[in-house]
Each structure stands twice: as structure tokens, then as C-alpha cells.
Structure 1
Amino acid sequence: MNKYLLLAIIILGGFTTLKAQTPNIYQPFSYDFYQKFNKQVYDKDTRFHSAMKPYFQDDSLLKLAVDSFYDYGSDTLKRSWVHRKLLNEHLIAINKSDYTFYGDFLPDFIAGYDKDRGSIWTNTRGYQFGGTIGSKFSFYTSGYENQAKFPQYIQNFVNANGIIPSEVNDKFGPSRNIKDWSYATALLSYTPVKYINITLGQDKNFIGDGYRSVLLSDVASNYPFFKLTGTLGNVKYMSMWAQFQDLKAPELSYDNGFRKKWGVFHYLDWNVNNRLSLGFFDSVIWQDADSTGKRGFDLSYANPFIFLRPIEGQNGSPDNALIGFNGKYELLRNLAVYGQIAIDEFTSKEVFAGNGYWANKFAYQIGIKGFDAFKLKNLNYLLEYNTARPYTYSERTSLLNYGHYNQPLANIFGANYREFVTIWNYSYKRFNLMGKLDLAKYGLDGPGDNYGGDIFKSYDTRNYSYGNFTTQGIATNLTYLEGRVAYLINPNYNLRLELGGIIRSETNSLSQNKTGIITFGLRSTFRNLYNDF
């Protein structure tokens, strides 16, 4: 019976949309784009479930602002086909009473200079298609073919990890100076009634109000997921099942490809009043194949309304359970305070003993964000602090850790770090300015060491059981400063001319890596790709 129930759920997942009467595309956006809507999302006189991303674009509190962005520059004057397609419309656009469809070519052409490597460039050709069918179904897909000569620090990361940051594996490995990769997304969403949404996707998810998340972020590569989202009054609830890949675990065979693992996630967001929101999170990661062969999807985690930690214990505690909390308070008209805490493992007597016990694994975040800073319209801001103790998110093997495709499912730094980041975004007509400063300190491992920063290492190989502290190991300081100026050409797919600059410094007792980078490009899409490490 359970098998038939699961099959029925999966079949239903082949549909999608946002709200029953006015469907829109369920499409993730970059943080820069979300930041433009701080005024609508963090309005102290309304209630918005801001911590669960991607947002539904037809939410009544957000739709007007998003539509206004898409329609920027359009007017009732008769324009030429070339003018409209270049500046105001999708390349392909069909709008009928019972269905809609659009399609675009997505260029991402960048040329620049890296002080450490000389000339750098990115050549990406992409596409996107999306639309709606009836009043309950929507779909979106995009794909990208890429080649690049990266800045030296990114090249070092790719060669060491075998992946392009936030995307997929490097096709040809460290022997090639020019990197080549392909990348795709797909989303189907169905809303049978206004209270329930069903989504099947190959993409990412994010939980939190900040730039980073210690619960679930969009740092790593896309992954397949099935998600149920329910809204009733001031409560919004999400239950999601996902499959991840582990590139570090030995492959069982060439035919089986990279090793797989499963994840289940629950998040409940409660808008207590117009100002205060509280969120409760839990998750479990388990490996697809264990020592006996094939475990597969565990039906004990199929119930969307059950607290996961007791079930994990009932199974004999073979899996990786994580619980967490997210909170937000809209303190002023244009300022919100937010925070998170994630608890991986916790031994109360060891915490209060203050002896640096390795298994007291937790992370937290605190920040402020808002809009119209210094009474300047459209000046959005964020100031945020994140930290995670050593060995947080790690497990006995990488097949159980809180990671996917050689990157963390939480903060990009993994664990054993402290970080302060501030981001400012200002828009005026078609111009957009962004500034970011990231100051981080983390502990790296020497040969044969495990100080708890690399979450893909087994915690059984730790250096110490007691006396651990955050940033232990080879203490490393990172300063990352980035600025961008962009001119928006077509808002429908974020086509823009962009000038950017990065100053990066990573120093410790063994080395100093400092660089300056400048780039200019014709860019498009709303992807969130992380290079700030």
C-alpha cells in the first residue's frame, strides 16, 4: 500500500504553479534580485513568509513589484519589433486565455583581467523556456553550455574539488586550463487549490532571511526534489524530499555513476503578527547504498507531517539529523532583524562544561537588513554574521554529511569559521549598483589533519575530542570586496551590461594570496552563483 501511495505522490509532482487563479512561473532568483524587493517583503504592516525561497511570484504582496520590474520601460507607443524584443519583451512570447509561453536566449559573455593570471573570460550560451497551462499549472526550464578561463583562485578551487562553484563537475579535470561544463534546471509546479502547491524540480532551495543560511542554502549544485507547500492563514509549511550526489565516495561501478544519498526537510513558518515570524526546521540525510547493498528511499521518512528526529532514532540512528530555528522581527519601518541556529549534535553537560567537546556541533546567524537606507529610495542593505563550530555538518562518511556535489548545503565555508558580510544594492532607472564586503576567518587543515572545517572528512579522523574551538587549525583570514555597476537592457531575462571588480586577500602563516580582478560583460538570467570565498 505504501508503494502505491508513494507512486501517486510522484505522479502528482509532475504538475506545478503558484496560485490557482493567477499562475506565474516558479523561478528562483539571485540574492541581488531578491534584495530589490526588501520594501515589499519586509513591510512591517503586512505579513509575508520571507524565509522560504524561491518565492511564489504571484503572491499578492510581491506580484506588483515583480511585474513592475518586468514591465520597466514598456509603454503604449508603437515600437518596432526589434526595439521591443531587445529592450522590453521575451524573444518568444505567446499569451492566450488558457496558456502562456515564453522563451529567451541567455548570453553570459565576460572578459576581464586577473592580476594573478592575466586575461580571463567566460563564454556561456543559455536558454530559458517557461509558461502556464490553465490556471493551476506552470513550468520553467533553462540550460547553459559553458567554457571559461577563470581567475586563479577559482581555478585552484575547481582543480582541487573537481567542480565549478555552485554548478556541476569539470568535464576534463585539472589537466585543462580552459574549463568546460553544462548545466540545466527544470521546474514543474501544480496548485490544485489555493492552499497547496506541489513542485517537482531539478534546482535549488533556500531557507532563511539572510544572504547565507545555516539551515539550507543554494550554494551547491542543482538536485532533484519533490516539494509540498501548504499555506493556511498565517502558517506556511514545506515538506521536501531530495536526492544528492557524493563525488568523494568511491563509485560502486561505472554504470551506477556518482554515489547517491537522500534528504528529507521540513520547515514551518509562522507569522505571529505583522512584525514577528518564527520558523522551525528539521532534516535527515541518509545514504542510498550501505554495506549490505541497496537501501534506497526510506519510507519511514515519507510522512510529511512527522517530526524526523524520533523516526531517525527509531531506525537505530544510522542517519544524519539536523534541527534548527529561524526568526525575523521587523523592528523599524525599513529595518528587520533576523537570525538562525542549526543544531547538528548537542551534549548539554559538555556544552556547559566549556571544554571544547567535538560533538557540540552547531551554527548560528544574526543580521539586519532593510531598504531606503539614509532615506535614499531603493538603497537596500544587509549586515550579517555567521559562524559554525568545528565538525558541524560532518558525519562518519561523506555519504551522510550535509553536503552535495562537493559543496556544503549550508554556508559556503563549511564549518569552523566566522564570517561578517555586508551587501548594498541601489537601483536608479536602468542602472544598478552593488557593493559587497566579506570578512571571514576559518581554520584550514595541514597534511593528515582534520580540524573540522572540511565537512566531507569523517569526524572519526578528528585531531582532538576536547579542546576544540572555532577557527582552529591553520588560522586563515579572508577579505573579499566586490563592486558591480550594471545597465539593464531587457528586464524580462535580466539582460544587462555589467562592469565588475574584485579585491581578494587570503592570508595565513603559510601563504599570502592577494589579487585584483576587473571584468566587463553582457550578462543575463537570475542565477545565484557564489564566487565569494
Structure 2
Amino acid sequence: MAKKICLAILLLFCSLLPALSLIPDSAFAPEIQKGLKPSLLSYSQRAKEDSISIYNNGLYLPFVSRSSVGDAVLDICRLGNANYSLLSYQSPDYKLRGELNFIGGLEPVKKDDSYSFLYRGWQLKSQYGKHIEMNTKWWNGIFLGNQNAARNSWLVDGYCNTTDEKLNIDNLSGDISYNAKNLTLALGRGKFPVGNSISGSIILNDGVNDYGYILAEGRAGIFSISFLHASLMADSTYNIYDDHFYNNKNYPDKYLALHQFGFHPCSNLHLFLGEEIIYGNRSPEISYFLPNAFWRAIEHNLWDRDNVMIFAGGSYRPVQPLFLYAQVLIDEFSSSKLFSDWWGNKYALQGGMRWNVPFSLPESPSADITTEITAVRPFTYTHYLNHTMFSTDGRPLGYPKGSNLVDVSCLLRLPYKDIFLWQGGVSYCKQGSFGSDWRQNYHNVFNTAEEIDEGTAHWFQGTKTETITLKSNVLIDIFAHHRLLFGFETAHLDDWQNTFYSAWQFIY
């Protein structure tokens, strides 16, 4: 009876990998991504544990079988790879495979005040045949300690509520996808970065709450095309009713559409050009489902009511240890005023290099160091309607540090095999307050047609700030079912502000 119940649960959800499988050189899985994440919920499992581990045909429950329960208990404290999952299944024809695991953890944080996040959940992964995957990950938890400090946690990126005077959050991500060598089709809930970056992408950053999406990506020869259409969460409501109970739930529909064309003339050179549009307060726009069209022209014919951005970039590896990358995003510009201080010249530039240094620990990949510079013009990412802001659920989709800035960041990584990773980073950011916040309605600054046409915005205009940030953490992944993370961050604006964090995670 227990086996039948467990099998029903597994087949009902039949889903997890921590990350969607994507084609090589995918637009949604850049080689360089933001490091030094302060939560184990943001780190994927080791690659060797991502694949489904099957032990027998049919349903396998190690804690039910007398022959395996003892070893399954010992597996909790085992070093190296896990020998067991909580539940697994393989059909007699070997086509359907699935695996269920429990997940739980504790993440203490010490800043001015202390708090901890205690959570539990499950993750499922399944595969049918060679090409179809169904994946799901869910967790729910509460904050212990100082509740006001907990509201500023990096984990609170969307909906939250209070239960027994304790802040509570939950999250679910998943996908169902078809994956071939040069083709991916997916329906899911998640988030993606676009563009190489260690400080946060200027094109699309993933420091936000998950969102529902349709994704398609394919490659033929030296060309590739990538498409993403996502349902976002508006940052606030529209108050159109007399009763505030209705207004409190009246979030307008909001969407992100993105497409990118890739050119790969050789294995060490990749170039891309794309568009992204934020729109809403209406049904999904069918025209934005055409990945081979010029969307800016379409948007003009929809009476210029959406927020369109164009981006381009590339990466080049001249020699194996050296990786160069650069990208540009154009929010708005006028060719006749391109090199002037007109406020509407809204763009962002980002570039960097990663060097694999000639040093490595025994039997380990080499250490690497990445240096990056980012410059974002004032008022970049700003718009004037709730449903066209370049954001979701109160978090920016653009460069996470804002606009009207120049940022220089450096990241050093030292791995040991696949069980240990130390990371250290430093950044310097100079920023002006004028036009630095993506939430600002620029019509409140430039009120008249003359101001719109002639208004100016200078680099670092407004109150200037200079922020130095130092970060370091170490990920320890030597156990079969446990992971540990220890980290430290300090930032200097007027004085030094220190944050210590740690995390323990159990997966079985």
C-alpha cells in the first residue's frame, strides 16, 4: 500500500532538475554568471548529482526495504556521492524515470540584528525517453529572530505573509521541456540571466522572484535563435474601484518578451543581437511571439505604448585561459543627440575578462579571476507606467545596482575538485542620485514637451556616492546529503557595514 501511495505521488508531480537543460552556448546560460550568492537555495547541485539515479526497476524505497534500510540510514552521514534517494521509480520499458528527495535547511544571518531562515520542501526530477524532462522544486520556511531585519533578507523577493508573528515565504520553480542536441522547447517557472556578468547583467538579471515563461531556442550551423515570453508580476496595483479590497488585488497584467539572434562563426567567438519588451495591461501580444521579426517596428504600429530595448554583445576566447566579453543595452537614444547630455540617451555598457590563472589545487580545475566594468547612463530602465517598468514584483530586471553609475568589480574563484569552492570579490561603485532609480517616473522630472526634448542628465549628477564592497564565501560539498556555506560581506558608504551569514542544507 505504501509503495502504491508513493508511486502515485511521484507520477502526479513527476518533475525537478535544479536547472532546465539548454542547448550549448545558450543565451539563457551564459558562461560567466553572478557569484558569491549568500543562500544555498541559489546554488545548483553538483553536476554529477543532477542526473537521475536509478537503483531498480519499479518503485524503490530504501527506508522500507529491510535489506537497505540500515545502509540508507548510514548514507545520511556518508562522504562523497549519495547511494540513495528518498524514492525512485523506473518503468519496465526503461522510458520513464523519476526521483523524489526531501530538502531542508537553516540559514543564519548576522548584520545589525540577527535572524535565521528555517525551511523545508521537496524536489522531484523525471525524464521520459531521451528528450522529455519534467522538473519541480518547492520550499517553504519561516524567519526566526528579528522580524524587521528579516524583511530585508535577499530571500524576500516577492510575496510574503506573517504567521504567528513570524515572516513566512515559499517558492516553487519547475519546467516541462523537450531537449535535443540543438533544440529546446520549454514551459516553466524560473528566471534567467542574459549576458555574461559577475556584478549583474545589464540585459536581464536573475536577482528576482521566479516567473512563468515559454522558452524556445534552436541552433543550425553557425546561427542560433532564442525566444522567451514571461508573465511578470506588476510592482503595484491600479486603483480604479471605490472599494480598497478590490484595488488591493488589482495588479495589471505584465509581460516580458525577449528574442536574440546568435552568430557563431567559430568555436571561440560568439556574437548576438536582440530585443526585449516590457508590456501589459492587456492580453499577451501575439506579434511578440514572432522570434524572427523586428519588434521595435511592431511596437510602433501598436501606437508606441510599450517599453522596448535593444541589446548586442559577444564573447571571444583568443587563447584557452582568457575569456573576453562585452555587451551594450540601448533603452532610448536620438542619433542627432547621441554624444550630447540629453537625458533620453539611455544606455548601458558592460565588459570584462576572465583569466584562468596557472595555479590549481591537486586534481582540481584552475583558479580564475574575472574583472568587469559597467557604466549605466542616468534614467536607463525608467518608464512611466506600472505595467511597463523594467521590473517584476518590486525587483529590477536591469542592472541591479541601478543607473547613473560606473562600477568596477573583481571576482576570484578557487575550487577544490567538485567539493569545495572559495570565492572572493571586491567592487567599487560611483553613482549620482539623479535618474539612478528604475522606479522613477521620468515625466515627474521632465514635465513639458520642451523639457522632454531639451532636458539634460549628466554622468554622476545629483548627490554622489562611492561604495566599496568586499565579499567572500566558501561552499563545502563533501557530504552525500549535506552542504555548508559560510560567508562575509562588508560595504563602505559612510562607514563599514558588516554582514556574516552561513547555511546548512540537507537533501535526501
Are the structure 2 counterparts of residues 486 and 219 from structure 1 closer, same or farther at C-alpha, using a change threshold of 3 Å? closer
Match of 2:136 in 1: 141
Q: How does 1:139-178 map to 2 (within 5 A)?
A: 139-148=134-143, 157=152, 167-172=157-162, 178=166
Are the structure 2 counterparts of residues 337 and 236 from structure 1 closer, same or farther at C-alpha, using a change threshold of 3 Å? same
Alignment counterpart, residue 129 of structure 1, candidates 124, 128, 150: 124
Match of 2:421 in 1: 432
Are the structure 2 counterparts of residues 196 and 69 from structure 1 closer, same or farther at C-alpha, using a change threshold of 3 Å? closer
- Cα deviation, 1:179-200, whole Å, max 9, x if unaligned, reads 3211111211124x65432111
Are the structure 2 counterparts of residues 421 and 235 from structure 1 closer, same or farther at C-alpha, using a change threshold of 3 Å? same
1:110 aligns with 2:99: no
Q: How does 1:8-407 map to 2 (within 5 A)?
A: 25=17, 27=19, 48-49=24-25, 51-53=27-29, 67-68=47-48, 80-84=71-75, 86-87=77-78, 88-89=81-82, 90-95=85-90, 97-114=94-111, 116-117=112-113, 119-148=114-143, 157=152, 167-172=157-162, 178-191=166-179, 194-211=181-198, 212-250=200-238, 253-254=246-247, 256-288=249-281, 295-352=282-339, 354=340, 356-374=341-359, 377-407=365-395
Q: Say whether the 8 Å CA contact 2:222–2:265 is kept in structure 1.
A: yes
Q: Distance in 2 between matches of 1:168 and 1:348?
A: 39
Match of 2:503 in 1: 521
1:459 aligns with 2:442: yes
Q: Distance in 1 between matches of 2:177 and 2:26?
A: 19
Q: Say whether the 8 Å CA contact 1:387–1:418 is kept in structure 2.
A: yes
Q: Any idea what SS the aligned residue of 1:395 has? A: coil
Aligned AA (1:303): L
- Cα deviation, 1:308-362, whole Å, max 9, x if unaligned, reads 111011112111111000210102211101011000111122123x2x1111000
Q: Distance in 2 between matches of 1:327 and 1:125?
A: 40
Worse-matched range after superposition: 145-154 or 471-480 = 145-154
Aligned AA (2:110): Y
Match of 1:447 in 2: none
Aligned AA (1:105): F
Are the structure 2 counterparts of residues 471 and 145 from structure 1 closer, same or farther at C-alpha, using a change threshold of 3 Å? farther
Q: Say whether the 8 Å CA contact 2:356–2:367 is kept in structure 1.
A: yes
Return the index of the structure with the highest Cα Rg.
2
Are the structure 2 counterparts of residues 156 and 255 from structure 1 closer, same or farther at C-alpha, using a change threshold of 3 Å? closer
Unaligned runs of 5+ in 2: 1-13, 32-44, 52-67, 241-245
Aligned AA (2:159): N
Aligned residues: 443
Q: 1:522 Cα shift? A: 0.7
Q: 1:66 Cα shift? A: 6.7
Q: Say whether the 8 Å CA contact 1:165–1:220 is kept in structure 2.
A: no
Aligned AA (1:351): L
Q: Say whether the 8 Å CA contact 2:20–2:175 is kept in structure 1.
A: no
Q: Any idea what SS the aligned residue of 2:388 has? A: coil
- Could you tell me the percent identity over the aligned residues? 21
- Cα deviation, 1:203-258, whole Å, max 9, x if unaligned, reads 10121122221111212111111111112123221111111111234355358543
Are the structure 2 counterparts of residues 343 and 151 from structure 1 closer, same or farther at C-alpha, using a change threshold of 3 Å? farther
Worse-matched range after superposition: 476-485 or 199-208 = 476-485
Aligned AA (1:367): G
Are the structure 2 counterparts of residues 373 and 321 from structure 1 closer, same or farther at C-alpha, using a change threshold of 3 Å? farther
Are the structure 2 counterparts of residues 330 and 201 from structure 1 closer, same or farther at C-alpha, using a change threshold of 3 Å? same
Are the structure 2 counterparts of residues 50 and 197 from structure 1 closer, same or farther at C-alpha, using a change threshold of 3 Å? closer
Unaligned runs of 5+ in 1: 1-15, 18-23, 30-40, 42-46, 56-64, 72-77, 159-163, 289-294, 445-450, 526-533
- Cα deviation, 1:152-199, whole Å, max 9, x if unaligned, reads 9965757xxxxx5573233249x97x53211111211124x6543211
Q: Say whether the 8 Å CA contact 2:118–2:144 is kept in structure 1.
A: no
Match of 2:63 in 1: none
Match of 1:530 in 2: none
Q: Say whether the 8 Å CA contact 1:408–1:455 is kept in structure 2.
A: yes
Q: 1:385 Cα shift? A: 1.3
User: What is the root-mean-square deviation in Å for CA atoms of aligned residues?
Assistant: 3.4
Are the structure 2 counterparts of residues 453 and 144 from structure 1 closer, same or farther at C-alpha, using a change threshold of 3 Å? same
Q: 1:52 Cα shift? A: 2.8
Q: 1:95 Cα shift? A: 4.6
Are the structure 2 counterparts of residues 100 and 345 from structure 1 closer, same or farther at C-alpha, using a change threshold of 3 Å? same
Aligned AA (1:359): G
Instruction: Tell me the TM-score normalized by structure 1.
Output: 0.75
Q: Say whether the 8 Å CA contact 1:382–1:424 is kept in structure 2.
A: yes
Q: Any idea what SS the aligned residue of 1:399 has? A: helix
Match of 1:61 in 2: none
Q: Distance in 2 between matches of 1:233 and 1:423?
A: 34
Aligned AA (2:294): F
Are the structure 2 counterparts of residues 166 and 202 from structure 1 closer, same or farther at C-alpha, using a change threshold of 3 Å? farther
Are the structure 2 counterparts of residues 123 and 251 from structure 1 closer, same or farther at C-alpha, using a change threshold of 3 Å? farther
Q: Distance in 2 between matches of 1:273 and 1:437?
A: 33
- Cα deviation, 1:429-456, whole Å, max 9, x if unaligned, reads 4322111222222233xxxxxx212112
